[in-house]
Copies of this chain bind each other. A is one copy, B any other.
């Protein structure tokens, strides 16, 4: 992907390298979420420990990509689309790092809950979690191809995640009322549900940065309809 047909071929190489690092980071975060979900559902404490251990890798990638972006700004003095790419990357990695934190939080639940009851309720999160992982996967795919149409489509998936989240919370609330002694367990599960629901919001952010990069339009704080209008 030749971003701006630079006279400096080296500049292109550097931009491409940063972009590759973002995708690697995204792949790792997606894997972390997926492993955390598996760890919960298969009661695999070893896998959960791996997720916790690997969180520092996600953090380190955020810091090093940030540094690379600052270095390239200072050295190459990018403007226009190049600069927008770097801005989009700086914001994207913040969201990816926070999604990584969600995976770690889920992994801690798998490690710290000796009660099979908590894990049993946690199973009810599986469809929500699968949706969030799929949305992240598609957002990263749109990022890899810098595809605004896909980004706008992925942006809309959050409505489904929100609906599933609401259904899960209602279900868990029923369990709470049926047997109040389960309240502490179920609350843990609700916190996880909330965290997973937020993954959808963060994926929306990533889609907004893609649109910002390609179209030069800041579509944050607008609804899906306005985004569609902006792309027309």
Contacts and interface: CB of A to CB of B under 8 A. Distances in A.
B79 A74 contact: yes
18 contacts: A62-B220, A66-B87, A66-B218, A67-B218, A70-B83, A73-B83, A74-B78, A74-B79, A74-B80, A77-B77, A87-B90, A90-B90, A173-B184, A176-B176, A176-B183, A177-B181, A187-B190, A194-B194
A86 to B, nearest CB: 9
A59 B222 CA distance: 10
A63 interface: yes
B177 A63 contact: no
Interface of A: 56, 59, 62-63, 66-67, 70, 73-74, 77-80, 83-84, 87, 90-91, 94, 169, 173, 176-177, 180-181, 183-184, 187, 190-191, 194, 218, 220-221
